[in-house]
Amino acid sequence: MVITYHGGEFFKIISGDTAIAINPISKDSNLKTTRFGADIAIISLNDKDFNGIEQLSRGEKEPFVISGPGEYEVKKVFVNGFQSISEYNGQNRINTIYSIILEGINLVFLGALSLKKLNNKTKEALGDIDILFTPIGGNGVLTAFDARALSVELEPKIIIPMHYGEIENGGKNKALAEFLKEDGVENGKPIDKFTIKKKELEGKEEEIIILNS
């Protein structure tokens, strides 16, 4: 499995010959977007910063779109969506948290979550989390402090922060620095892509991976 980050909450995950796009940025967004072909599109929040399905077409082929709570199975990818809340852009809206299982790895994507705690039913349904994608930027989504507290509670093997804006020259970003400081880690070196196999998760506990966008 190969994970790359395209800014905002936009991720591309490649597993074999299957390409998955999560929260693609629309061409109508003020955020910089990327275009590529995807087999599956997963959308947490109906907002131009996260619902750019038009960026994912490949010739005449269109991605299978998952955009709300429920259970889905596409190309041996198992997805379970759970309703939550976002206050993104100052509006109280439905956000979907996803558990995405492929290659035997459980990826949990919090989307534009603003809730500091999840209810017990949702936490139980998410199961043992291998990789957690969490927003950390505040302003309608979790702050760095709250994201770190929730991450500790969920006990993932790996944490990938997102939704924190651009990394400045010299690798500086306020929200990212605060998130790393909460973990007692002062230096987190960004990488261009993250490649992982199920067996490589053994022994990992809340390891933070920072991806360049």
* Residue 204 structure tokens: 């990992």
pLDDT at residue number 201: 96
Mapped to the 3 state alphabet, what secondary structure does 102-146 carry?
A: ECCEEEEECCCCCCCCCCHHHHHHHCCCCEEEEECECCCCCEHHH
22: helix, coil or strand? strand
pLDDT at residue number 2: 98
The 8-class DSSP code of residue 26 comes to P
- Domain total in the chain: 1
In a domain, 65, yes or no: yes
The torsion defined by the Cα of 103, 107, 111 and 115, in degrees rounded to 10, comes to 160
pLDDT at residue number 59: 79
pLDDT at residue number 190: 86
- How does pLDDT run across 53-80, given as a tens digit for each residue? 999 988 777 999 999 999 999 999 999 9
Domain range for 85: 2-208
In a domain, 213, yes or no: no
- Here the CATH number for the domain that contains residue 21 is 3.60.15.10
pLDDT under 70: residue ranges of the chain: 168-172, 182-188
pLDDT at residue number 66: 98
